[in-house]
C-alpha cells in the first residue's frame, strides 16, 4: 500500500460506532516515552483489514467481503477476544477513499487500553498489515467523529461514494448492515462539518458526532518493520499477563479441525 493510500486509510478508519454510547472517566498510567494509557474500561474499537493488494476498486472490495481471508480475520478476532476474556462484536466494513477501496473489519468492545492495543497488534500481525488503528471514546478526544446512518438500504454503496465525493468528503468507512448502511468519517482538523452536513442532507441520513482518541500501530512503509512493532506490543502485554497465549487452546483446535 502506498504512503498516500495508507494515510487516507488512517483517516477513513478513525470512526465511531454510535451504537456503543457512554463516555467514562479515564484513569492513566505512564508508558515508556511518557505516553499515558488508560487503565479504565471504555468503549474501544479497532479497524483491521485483511487486504494486502494494491489498487482495489470499490466493487472488488465489496466482493472481497465474502472472501476466505475476511472470514479468517473475523475468526481470529473472536479467538483473541476469547484469550482476553472479551466478546468483541465484529462487522465487515469497506474502507473507501476518492480513488480506491479495501475490504476491512471493525470490532468494538468495552475494555482497557492495554487489551485493545494487544488485540489490534495481534490481528495486524496475523493479517500481515502495515498498520492497524484503534480508538477509545473520550470526552476530551482530539478528533471529531461523524456518523451517518441510512436506515434503509435504498442507496447502492457506489452511489453513496459518488455523493460523498461530490460533497468533498473524501475519506470514509462504509458498513452495510441488514437494516441499512452506516458511514463513518473522521475530521482531525474540525473543518468538515458543513460538508458532512450537506452529504447527510442529500443522502437523507441521520447525523451524529462525538469525540475520541485513537492511534495507529505499525509502520506505514514496510511490513517487516510493522511486524516488529506488532511483536513488541504483543511481547510487552504477554510478559505482564503470563498465560494469555495459552488460553482458548480448545477453540484453536476446533478452528483447525
What are the average pLDDT values for consecutive 10-residue runs of the chain, which has 257 residues?
44 41 36 56 90 93 96 97 95 92 94 95 97 85 85 83 95 90 83 95 92 86 96 96 83 49
Q: Give the pLDDT of residue 36.
A: 54
Instruction: Tally the domains of the chain.
Output: 1
pLDDT at res. 30: 43
Give the residue numbers spanning the domain of 48.
Answer: 3-15+26-242
- Kindly state whether residue 249 falls inside one of the protein's structural domains: no
Q: Evaluate whether residue 30 is within a structural domain.
A: yes
The reply to whether 256 falls in a domain is: no
DSSP conformation class of 40: S
> How many Å separate Cα 53 from the centre of its chain?
18
User: How remote is the C-alpha of 78 from its chain's centroid?
Assistant: 15
Q: What is the pLDDT of residue 246?
A: 85
Does 250 reside within a domain?
A: no
CA distance linking residue 115 with residue 77, whole number of Å: 13
Does 254 reside within a domain? no
Q: Is the pTM of this model over 0.85?
A: no
pLDDT at 64: 97
Three-class secondary structure of residue 120 per DSSP: helix
| In a domain? residue 247 | no
In a domain, 117, yes or no: yes
CA dihedral 224, 230, 236, 239 (to 10 degrees): -80
Q: For residue 255, is it within any domain?
A: no
Amino acid at each position: 500500500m502506498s504512503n498516500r493510500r495508507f494515510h487516507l486509510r488512517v483517516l477513513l478508519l478513525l470512526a465511531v460506532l454510535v451504537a456503543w454510547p457512554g463516555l467514562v472517566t479515564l484513569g492513566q498510567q505512564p508508558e515508556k516515552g511518557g505516553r499515558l494509557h488508560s487503565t479504565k474500561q471504555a468503549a474501544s474499537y479497532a479497524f483491521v483489514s485483511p487486504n494486502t493488494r494494491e489498487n482495489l476498486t470499490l466493487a472488488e472490495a465489496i466482493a472481497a467481503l465474502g472472501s476466505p481471508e475476511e472470514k479468517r480475520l473475523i475468526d481470529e478476532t473472536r479467538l483473541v477476544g476469547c484469550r482476553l476474556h472479551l466478546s468483541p462484536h465484529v462487522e465487515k466494513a469497506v474502507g473507501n477513499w476518492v480513488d480506491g477501496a479495501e475490504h476491512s473489519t471493525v470490532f468494538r468492545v468495552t475494555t482497557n487500553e492495554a487489551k485493545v492495543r494487544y488485540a489490534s497488534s495481534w490481528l495486524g500481525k496475523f493479517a500481515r498489515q502495515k498498520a492497524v488503528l484503534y480508538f477509545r471514546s473520550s470526552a476530551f478526544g482530539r478528533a471529531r467523529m461523524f456518523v451517518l446512518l441510512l436506515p434503509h438500504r435504498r442507496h447502492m454503496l457506489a452511489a453513496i461514494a459518488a455523493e460523498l465525493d461530490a460533497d468533498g468528503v473524501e475519506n470514509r468507512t462504509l458498513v452495510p448492515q441488514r437494516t441499512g448502511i452506516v458511514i463513518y468519517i473522521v475530521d482531525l482538523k474540525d473543518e468538515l462539518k458543513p460538508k458532512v452536513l450537506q452529504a447527510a442532507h442529500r443522502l437523507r441520513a441521520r447525523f451524529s458526532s462525538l469525540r475520541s482518541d485513537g492511534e495507529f500501530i505499525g509502520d506505514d512503509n514496510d511490513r517487516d518493520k510493522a511486524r516488529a512493532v506488532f511483536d513488541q506490543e504483543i511481547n510487552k502485554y504477554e510478559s505482564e499477563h503470563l498465560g494469555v497465549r495459552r488460553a482458548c487452546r480448545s477453540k484453536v483446535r476446533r478452528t483447525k479441525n
